[in-house]
Structure 1
């Protein structure tokens, strides 16, 4: 009898402990047909003219008690053309590999993760930071070995990042990240300040690698209901060459359908031979809460690019 009671107690305790932690498998499947930078029309997956990069991830969180939680996130990218991995970093878990602790005081994270600058832009960018975002592609960090789009003047992700994010205080939040010289070859900091409350979204992003100049972006969005308007000012550097300019765009929603027009205009461009006006036209139709079809046309630095595809979130 005593052994039975002890066994039941152990089982009950184990169940209570397990109930305080959870692990979630999630992902995105995105594939279509399109053309990029004068190439031929072909199947596209994990490319610039996809809405997003197909991915598979696992994340978990454990309640440690007293308001303290611990969590992790591992994420890899893949191409639906052939099943190959398509990561934003050197390893299999190139999209995310991090551990965090959080509570009422905020969240402290360590590892490979999206940058504070990326989240600052995401607060107001009209496409939801799609791969074909005209903002991300115009002022991106130019490196063929990283993902096609990124934050202002930098990649969308940092490796070996220590970061702290404040709790949300009436819509206000801020995050700062730091990478040591030993981990990066040169020390780097990255930060944002965000106000997101109701129809308003405002984000200030800034990042700097030691020995180079500061990249920054300030943007805002207002949602009127069936129509949203966004504008921004952006400054990005490659070494000491600067590209800066502003953006203006809007999204109109008609039930399950939406149309977005977003434009950028250079006020200075030392990366190329002249100043450009770039533009994105995007149409989406939601088949369900998790699946939509899309079409996008991107005019980028004189090149015409397009993509038509399907995205499913799970």
Structure 2
């Protein structure tokens, strides 16, 4: 009887081991465009990276652990296709390890912030190329005491929890540690996102706090945004409202956009206003129009034209990697034609 029980236990363990499986995938995007920009009588032309989607190279893998548990990793770094420069390549876009199951997902490492994901999701051009929303760190991209600005795209040293599938409800909570010896909260970041997606509707709200300043005098930069999209046949209108506040400054963002199936491609349009609530004559308005023609499921040729109008005290630029920062109070116009391939 004892031998039978031992044999049964060994068979159970072996069956569980055989049920486990793992896979590793190499993936990426190669995207480059021919671009031209003009401002104040000056012209800039050349190749720009990521006109439709940021170029990248990554590795991801997953292992089935049994009982519904999965372990996974994701390593992804940015590339510049125009010159092939990979010197100092690092996994700065994402480097995470996760454990997921019916409880949701626990994710550790460097990843996008919850608030930034709304900026990408609810804008017709996302955050790439001439039409990019450029909605992160509206107050400052180098806010004192913060590692990557007042409202960064990504944070390092983070712990995230993602909700499991709950009907159409989705959400994420993230905290990144500042890891400063003299002050544990300095350079930290905390964010929350909660959304609902079902059928044609997708909507989400997000909130984040970046801790800056100094060890002696801390300073919080707070961000809030709300986005929504609704698919109406071939049309998908989009709406996004955001606000960054801190250090006696406040900048609000309002954006409306549209994606429309047209032929074998997609027409994209977006209007965005950046409003400085603490300084007069420092607002900007951006208008972008583009079309992407799908050559296949993985390859697209695209064209985009965009214009940003700056008030007398504003100097915001377009999202292209080639875009210069215009002189204060000067406008900027640009266009690009590019090719994107996913692999």
- 1:36 Cα deviation after fit: 4.5
Aligned mate of 1:298, from 282, 306, 309: 306
The higher radius of gyration belongs to 2
Paired residues of 2:289 and 2:306 also in contact (CA < 8 A): yes
Pair 1:208–1:133, CA change in 2 (3 A): farther
Name the stretch that deviates more: 270-279 or 232-241.
Answer: 270-279
Paired position in structure 1 for 2:31 = 30
Aligned mate of 1:158, from 155, 159, 167: 155
- 1:190 Cα deviation after fit: 1.3
Paired residues of 2:207 and 2:223 also in contact (CA < 8 A): yes
- 1:290 Cα deviation after fit: 0.6
Distance in 1 separating the partners of 2:342 and 2:139: 27
Paired position in structure 2 for 1:101 = 99
Alignment of 1:45 onto 2:46: no
Pair 1:104–1:272, CA change in 2 (3 A): farther
Aligned mate of 2:122, from 121, 124, 147: 124
User: Mind listing any 5+ residue stretches in structure 1 that lack a counterpart?
Assistant: 1-12, 145-149
Number of residues of Structure 1 aligned to a counterpart in Structure 2: 291
1:283-314 Cα deviation digits (max 9, x unpaired) = 11111111101111222342112221000001
Distance in 2 separating the partners of 1:123 and 1:85: 28
Alignment of 1:66 onto 2:67: yes
Q: Secondary structure at the match of 1:169?
A: coil
Pair 1:117–1:85, CA change in 2 (3 A): farther
Paired position in structure 1 for 2:314 = none
Aligned mate of 1:236, from 225, 239, 244: 244
Paired residues of 2:292 and 2:300 also in contact (CA < 8 A): yes
Pair 1:167–1:123, CA change in 2 (3 A): farther
Q: Secondary structure at the match of 1:121?
A: helix
Q: Secondary structure at the match of 1:41?
A: strand
1:148-199 Cα deviation digits (max 9, x unpaired) = xx9x952221111111010121111110100123267432101211111111
1:16-58 Cα deviation digits (max 9, x unpaired) = 6596110000000001111346451101124xxx112211100
Paired position in structure 1 for 2:313 = none
Name the stretch that deviates more: 196-205 or 229-238.
Answer: 229-238
User: Mind listing any 5+ residue stretches in structure 2 that lack a counterpart?
Assistant: 1-13, 143-147, 212-218, 311-330
| TM-score, L = length of structure 2 | 0.76
| TM-score, L = length of structure 1 | 0.83
Name the stretch that deviates more: 120-129 or 205-214.
Answer: 120-129
Name the stretch that deviates more: 54-63 or 251-260.
Answer: 251-260
Q: Secondary structure at the match of 1:136?
A: coil
Paired position in structure 2 for 1:225 = 233
Paired position in structure 1 for 2:9 = none
Q: Secondary structure at the match of 2:133?
A: helix
Paired residues of 2:204 and 2:227 also in contact (CA < 8 A): yes
Distance in 2 separating the partners of 1:287 and 1:274: 42
Paired residues of 1:123 and 1:196 also in contact (CA < 8 A): no
Pair 1:287–1:91, CA change in 2 (3 A): closer
Alignment of 1:173 onto 2:170: yes
Pair 1:142–1:160, CA change in 2 (3 A): same
Distance in 1 separating the partners of 2:44 and 2:120: 31
Paired position in structure 2 for 1:187 = 188
